[in-house]
A and B are shown apart, each in its own frame.
Chain A
Amino acid sequence: MSEFMRLDAKAPATLGAVVEAVTRLSTLGEAKILELVSAGKIAELFPFSTARRDQPIPSDTLAEEELVQASPAPLNRKERDALIESSLPASAPKKSRPRSASKR
């Protein structure tokens, strides 16, 4: 679960909460999760902090040469790990992170 190490500790989803949520969700079938998501209830089960407020929205369009096209072939372990890592929002630069409450 090293992916979680990049989560901001001040984000609503702490490492422990996310691990707990993933553990709970992994006991459910995929169709059940689909139904929960479609009913708008997933935030209750997966308290993941999504984009930071200051995260810029990517541009609407890209030129063809800017697209990194997906391979239709199976991925190797390294490529799969990179795909998982890319699913998480970029970490905030340290200097822009708010100080933790305990240090105030």
Chain B
Amino acid sequence: MPPRPFVRSAPSKVDKRRRVDIRLTHMAAADALWWDARLGPKHASMASRADRYWSWSVLLPLCHLVQRAKRRYCRPLVIWARTDSGRFLRVGMLIVIEAYPYLDIEHPAESHFVWFMSAADAGVLTTEFGMSNPPALGRVLLDSAIVLSQNAGLAGRIGLHAASAGGDGLLALYDRLGLIRLPGTAALPASVRRPNDGRFFYADEPLAEALAAALDASR
């Protein structure tokens, strides 16, 4: 069976009837440098953003090397969207850990873990980069991880931790996106090495397939 493709369009945040072309590339140092230089200073002033202090130029090699030390691999991706000029602009960043312990220990398995993900601020895209229709990226970011998990034979299972810097707003976002919140009383896989603070989310196989199928028309 051919691998499920990534999505190629997403709804505009301004006008939900409009579709914005989306493309995905692997993230290299130059992408991280661009994000840090062009979007980082804008995001740093937004107190509600969990990623306001993230330096992708540091995160990118860090994630690769820390996971290699744990004998795992990362898949860092950049999401690009078509601007009014017809050219593509970086609008999202994502680092996924492959073959990570599945958070639901009642069903021991591997999953993909969404370690870091950011969507560029829509207002900045419009005012600074001439993008009249910035795309809604929450579902695209999660879908990318689900597709990688499915194509790797992990049935779409994914997990993530909502950074506490994102507050209740980030929890609400992952709820809205349809993820399952791991109960705060649930035990975590031993290798996760952290007490459960109630901010872990995951998608099991049926949920992952439902979320992916919902975007199949956009692939």
Determine the main DSSP class of B at the interface with A. Answer: mixed
**Range, interface on chain B:** 35 or more
Assuming the A-B contacts A30-B97, A40-B53, are A22 and B65 also in contact, with contact meaning beta carbons closer than 8 angstroms in the complex? yes
Q: Name which of B134-142, B160-168, B172-180 contacts chain A.
A: B160-168
- Report the bound CA distance from A68 to B38 in whole Å: 21
Distance between Cα atoms of A39 and B163 in the complex (Å)? 10
Beta-carbon contact of A22 and B33 below 8 Å:
no
A55 to B100, CA, bound (A): 35
Contact of B28 among A39, A57, A63, A86 (CB under 8 A): A86
- Docked Cα-Cα span, A31 to B115, in Å, equals 8
Asked, given contacts A73-B3, A73-B151, whether A50 binds B89 with beta carbons under 8 Å apart, the answer is no
Give the contact-size bracket for chain A: 35 or more
Q: Which of B23, B33, B58, B76 contacts A69 (CB 8 A)?
A: B23
Output the nearest chain A residue to B34 by Cβ-Cβ distance.
A58
The 7 closest A-B pairs by CB, nearest first: A40-B53, A29-B193, A61-B87, A50-B57, A26-B69, A86-B28, A38-B165
B interface vs A, CB < 8 Å? 3-6, 23-34, 36-38, 50-51, 53-55, 57-62, 64-66, 68-70, 73, 75-77, 80, 82-83, 85-89, 97-98, 100, 113, 115-116, 129, 147-148, 151-152, 161, 163-166, 191-194, 197, 199-200
